[in-house]
Amino acid sequence: MDLTRTQVAGRKRGAAARFGLIALPVAFFAAFFAYPVAAIVARGLKVEGVWGFGRIGEVLAQSDVRHVLWFTTWQAFVSTALTLLIALPGAYVFARFDFRGKQVLRAVVTVPFVLPTVVVGTAFLALVGRGGLLDELWGVRLDTTVWAILLAHVFFNYAVVVRTVGGLWAQLDPRQEEAARMLGASRLKAWRQVTLPALAPAVAAAALMVFLFTFTSFGVVQILGGPTFSTLEVEIYRQTSEIFDLSTAAVLTLIQFVAVGAILALHAWTVRRRETALRLVDASVTSRRPRGAGQWALLGGVLVTVVVLLLLPLAVLVQRSLDAPGFGYYRALTRADGGVFLVPPIEAIGNSLEYAVAATVIAVVIGGLAAVALTRRDAGRFVRGFDALLMLPLGVSAVTVGFGFLIALDEPPLDLRSSWILVPLAQALVGVPFVVRTMLPVLRAVDVRLREAASVLGASPWRVWREVDLPMVRRALLIAAGFAFAVSLGEFGATVFIARPDNPTLPVAVARLLGRPGDLNYGQAMALSTILMVVCAVALLVLERLRTADRTGEF
């Protein structure tokens, strides 16, 4: 009888712990994601108290909307293909070669991905736009062509392929391909029949992520596309903030939501394939110094690609910010002009850092609880289904979320329109998926028998977490916090709606400066973008140091 009572009590404690872990993340996403998105979509589709679902067909019948849908789709496909073509050699080099400066170069490659899209657009504007480097040297401008957008997307997503595919490639046992060659297969045939099938899930996952990011592209297209090119995200912004046509914006939001849901479902399937039926080894034993002229040429080609595609736009951005003598553009940031900004633009730095810290705390708490709940063996079907929902903020229109905040969070008990916390809440929505994806693999690697032994000895669920899990996941938690900080620092789509004029963030300040004529405004935008780039790069270098220390066991 005592044993039965103990088991019943243990099950009750487990159920209570499971509910406690998932309750806060569910409430957070319900209040600050599902509710605002549903509110703005409902307001757009409800006309004079009647649901106007026929409006969907009317919007899709418009030729300009069909043009936006077509451009959004085909540019995402082309951007994805170009990114794979250019980045796969880099994935191989980082996976199989060992060379001096590899860790620093890995961090450099990842810098563009954590940069705000506004900075990416600004960097390419300095390179290919009016008065840019290409314009000065050869009289060539690409800022009003689709090539500028495609190249900026490759710049932004290069690290996705290198990290996703290269991470798996580094752990594939090279002896499998060597065995095929010993049996008479050529190098190409061995790679095609042995390595490529093993890499296929990772390549597919990377391609889907790149497609997702380019399909929902906003900042890059907003700056480089001008009035000619518009993605769904840009069109939602235009319909919402310029034309005030909530009905059309709601229809476009629903279309994007369906498309993103399909992409995420495919991504989840490829990730499950990637996690099964692979023989993996320690990545440190698969890399070696390049051998022969061909491998050195490949390494040199990747280095040239990194310099031209990734470093040159950033270097031009920095150079343009220094065009005015005596750091004139930087000094101009300390003066308020009484126009768009009610405060000196330099204050955007402090605002962004404060908001990003608050958003990081929220993202780590919400994402950490969700990750722990997802790794419990007694997690129910609802908890496992919630895993897929955590990724939706990455694909659902940030513009819709931001405007939804203004529409929905205006009545007690969620009247937050005048509160400073509104910006960190929107930024945390984007940071939570990165926290979950960073912590899940480490938490799943913790031996469940350690937790069970601690529970048998009478430890509470909180003490089990503190004594067993936390020491093992502490470094992963720091890495997750760093990613959340960098992502929050650069969030633009939602923040542009809710950041107050007296408290602008760095991305919002850059966009407002670019939207005003004059060399001084352009130079200040370059200066602010450079500052934002440096802050993101420093955060990334710290992350890379933590990642390397985690692998070597040293800090």
Contact 232, 72 (CB under 8 A): yes
Q: Which residue has the tokens 């712990």?
A: 17
Structure tokens belonging to residue 474: 């502490």
145 contacts: CB under 8 Å, gap ≥ 6: none
Tens place of pLDDT per residue across the chain (555 aa): 444 554 444 555 555 555 667 788 888 988 898 888 888 777 777 665 556 667 777 888 888 888 999 999 999 999 999 999 999 999 888 888 888 878 778 878 877 877 778 888 888 888 887 777 777 777 767 766 788 899 999 998 998 888 878 877 777 766 666 676 676 666 667 767 777 777 777 788 788 888 988 998 888 888 888 777 888 888 888 887 777 777 788 788 888 878 887 877 776 676 655 544 445 454 455 667 777 788 889 889 989 999 988 888 888 888 888 888 888 889 888 887 655 666 788 888 888 889 999 999 999 999 888 887 777 655 555 555 666 677 778 767 777 788 788 788 877 777 787 788 889 999 999 888 888 877 777 777 666 666 667 666 666 666 776 676 667 677 777 778 887 888 888 888 788 878 887 888 888 888 888 778 788 888 888 888 888 888 877 777 776 666 565 554 433
Distance from C-alpha of 59 to C-alpha of 55, rounded to nearest angstrom:
6
Cα distance from N-terminal residue to C-terminal residue, the chain: 51
Q: How many CB atoms lie within 10 A of CB 384?
A: 11
Q: Which amino acid is at 373?
A: A
**CA contacts within 13 A on the Cβ side of 74:** 10
Longest dimension (CA), the chain: 88
This model's pTM is above 0.75: yes
